[in-house]
Amino acid sequence: MSKAACIRIVILAFIISLFPTNSFCEIQTITVTVKQPFGGSQSADDARITATAKAKREALEMAGTYVESLTVVKNSQVDKDEILALSAGILKTEVVSEKKYASEDASGIDVVVKVVVDTSFMEAKVKKLLQDRTHLEQLQQARIKEKEYLDKIAKLELENLRLMAQNKSSKDLEQQFHEASQGLTAIDWVDKAYALWQGGKYTDPKKAMEYLNEAIRLKPDYAPAYVGRGRAYANLGQQQRAIEDYRTVTTRLKPNDAEEYYSRGNAYNHLGQYQKAINDYNEAIRLKPDYDKAYNNRGVAYKTLGQYQKAIDDYNEVIRLKPNFFPAYGNRGSAYANLGQYQRAIEDYNETIRLTPDDGMAYGSRGIAYANLGQYQRAIEDYDISIRLNPGYAEAYSTRGTAYVILGQYQRAIENFNEAIRLDPGRDEPYISRGTTYGLLGQPQRAIKDFDEAIRLKPNNAMTYYVRGFAYGDLGQHQRAIEDYNEIIRLTPDDARAYSARGHAYANLGQYQRAIEDHDKAVRLKPDNANAYYDRGNTYYKLAQYQRAIEDYNHVIRLKPDDAEVYSIRGNAYSNLGQYQRAIQDYNDAIRLKTDYAEAYVGRGYAYGLLAEYQRAIEDYNHAIRLKPDDADAYHRRGIDYNHLDK
């Protein structure tokens, strides 16, 4: 074999076929042939792998001319290495033929590869890939590693030629050829997995995993294969296995790779291990201080932990680094909403909508913020847009239904809850909301049916037992209400409302001592709970312990000084103690706060009558009757005082 015959001969043939489709696109086929000799320490299989890698790379480099000409590429200031990565990411190379040859001078293999360039689709594909910078960087790193192996093989070939000229071979050289070939094959398996990557995930994660397992088998120290497999596990919801692969990269193969700390942080986030996620995002940011996605996802973790200001600080950094990154505005808006800063939340949702006008969820979130500000009509308008943009968005129907409830439009509310249930029958919230609305319509039986279904779907939601207990109370089934309140206390032993509600139910059953015990517990758990004092005061009132009742009503008035009802009932307690002047003062306050409060006029009239001020008593009864013409007690008491005047 002559030296000339052993030197690598590369024949590049361009076969470009133009198929007319329309005036805006064309399909071009690039074909590359590589003639690869082998012998000595380089096996036929190693030569085939090398020739295939060379042919594919050269075909993609040629196709890069068309990629480079795209408007989106020109506008993005993409460098030469990225052009090759873009070509690899959007185009498919195909081995047309492999054919061994032998002559007196040399043995070798011809490999023919083609790539089809369809310019009608390239612009859109490149645009998507440019938006996924992480994936583009992975493709670029694969091309760099591929070139390293090809350069190494070129040096090995020169050494092989030298030994062959001396009729020698080398086991060590043979091993190096084999290892380089395995590296190229591992990259090829990873490329096959990358071809399945679309929209931030694998279209077929199980198939991707098969390819990546092969890459790892061939090159156990090839970090991108572990990275890719970790993402495949994550796509399949196997977060713990994903973490193990990311850990292999961060602890053994590439300890300074910010991307893998970020990916592992995402896996911890999915597992609900938010502090571990934050630790990984911290490391990713330390390694890459301008890592906008790491700030964003750390913000999400902080928000989930209720650390809203820290979350906002992270979203601020994302927006500084990437002003048009719309998810950061939505996330920051959510954090502001959790802090009760609804106007600032609305400003962020406005920005989200400006950047992504078709984002139905942004309108839904802004609607919730408007609702929290009491602007229910504006909230409904946003929910309407959200539903128009995303008709399958069940939560938008639920929140719109809630707005209708607050506006007193109960039937429209129920229609919305019905639709939310139809779209997502596995959520308990719409059943709870619809049941509550039935309760407001005076249909406790239908309410209970909805609460039963909500409990079946989510047995540990204390709120559902609470509202069902109220519904049983409306039906006079106080023992069943108590059973529901017992369940709340089992689930949340420190829930003051549950003790207060159970105490109320015990009082309705005439079990006043048990009622007082529950109200005592409610007050201990939440000393500023006005309802607990009010209910305990009412229980003392029923037991004719008026002074103790008054003490509890005093607490209520301290906590709720504008509550007309508590002044009126304290006035009743003073009347029962014979302290009529103090009673009248309370009725005056009740009427001042609520001028149409018929019961307060009746109570004050009664106190005036007992003080023998019959004319003033009659005037109060007259006022009560004008407000409440069917108040029999007012007529009866007025009649008594008319008799006193006649005498």
Kindly state the helix (H) or strand (E) to which residue 97 belongs, with its residue range: strand 93-102
| pLDDT tens for each residue of 456-484 | 999 999 999 999 999 999 999 999 999 99
State the pLDDT confidence band at 26, using cuts at 50, 70 and 90. Answer: low
What letter does residue 93 receive in the DSSP assignment? E
For 305, the 3-state DSSP assignment is coil
Q: How many CB atoms lie within 10 A of CB 582?
A: 16
- Contact by Cβ (8 Å): 249, 227: yes
| pLDDT tens for each residue of 329-352 | 999 999 999 999 999 999 999 999
Task: Compute CA 626 distance to the chain's CA centroid, rounded to the nearest angstrom.
Answer: 56
Q: Is the pLDDT of residue 590 over 70?
A: yes
- State residue 476's pLDDT score: 96
pTM, to two decimals:
0.74
Task: Give the relative orientation of helices 360-372 and 342-355 as an angle to the nearest 10 degrees.
Answer: 160
State the pLDDT confidence band at 302, using cuts at 50, 70 and 90. Answer: very high
Mean pLDDT of 541-570: 96
Cα dist from 48 to 34, 111, 173, 226, whole Å: 10, 7, 17, 26
- State residue 570's pLDDT score: 97
- State residue 81's pLDDT score: 74
- State residue 197's pLDDT score: 87
Residues of the chain with pLDDT > 70: what percent?
96
State the pLDDT confidence band at 580, using cuts at 50, 70 and 90. Answer: very high
Four-point Cα dihedral 352, 355, 357, 358, nearest 10 = -80
- State residue 402's pLDDT score: 95
State the pLDDT confidence band at 17, using cuts at 50, 70 and 90. Answer: very low
- Contact by Cβ (8 Å): 634, 625: yes
State the pLDDT confidence band at 109, using cuts at 50, 70 and 90. Answer: very high
Mean pLDDT computed over every residue of the chain: 90
Q: Comparing C-alpha atoms, which of 299, 363, 294 is closest to residue 331?
A: 299
Sign of CA dihedral 168, 171, 172, 176: positive
- State residue 647's pLDDT score: 66
Instruction: Report all structural domains of the chain as residue ranges with CATH numbers, in order of start.
Output: 1-192 (no CATH), 562-647 (1.25.40.10)
Mean pLDDT of 8-34: 49
How many residues make up the chain in this entry? 647
- Contact by Cβ (8 Å): 412, 404: yes
